Amino acid sequence: MATSNDIKNGTVLRIDGQLWTIIEFQHVKPGKGGAFVRTKMKNVVSGKTVDKTFNAGIKVETANVDRRDYQFSYMDGDDFVFMDTDTWEQFHIPATVVGDAKDYMLEGMSVMIAMNEGTPLYVELPTSVVLEITHAEPGLQGDRSTGGTKPATLETGKEIQVPLFLEAGVKVKVDTRDGSYLGRVNE
């Protein structure tokens, strides 16, 4: 247990049996009345975001979340198999927990997995990854005042928008938060 005064970004709270991560917080001390903490919280499982206000000094239940590096090994049916790089222990995580992270993961990639009491909560990717374009239609030059884009399929099967000049076989840097093209990678 902690108090609302201990809340900071990244803190995980247990409220009504659900886990919520603090995204933003602000301690407020108005001229009249008692102080309070205004927060923006994200549900760890569903990803839903809500605003919640706590009075200053009230007790809140914190959850112990262990974030550790793991390596994505392979797919086993609908499960993703990860390996602990310290103990070499392998374990299965269902696709529902992995979520959209699957669109950016390749075998052998290191990811961070958050666990609470042995239960995997979510997979956290690096902010950007380098992936190869496997399919892209030829770009058509036409009259336009700004650079155009076209859809391209990455080696993971994810489709993103890329500049017209890119072709299949080119490696690109992709933002894992929103799937946006960040640039070409020369290797």
Give 55-84 pLDDT, tens digit per residue: 888 888 888 888 888 999 888 888 899 998
For domain 128-185, the CATH superfamily is Nucleic acid-binding proteins (2.40.50.140)
- List every span in the chain annotated with CATH 2.40.50.140: 66-124, 128-185
CA-CA distance, 166 to 82, in Å (whole number)? Answer: 33
| Spatial CA neighbour of 171 closest among 132, 120, 125 | 132
In the chain, CATH 2.30.30.30 covers 2-60
- CATH topology for 2-60? SH3 type barrels. (2.30.30)
Written out in words, the top-level CATH class of the domain with range 66-124 is mainly beta
pTM as predicted: 0.69
pLDDT tens sequence across 106-151: 888 899 888 888 778 788 888 888 999 898 887 666 545 566 788 8
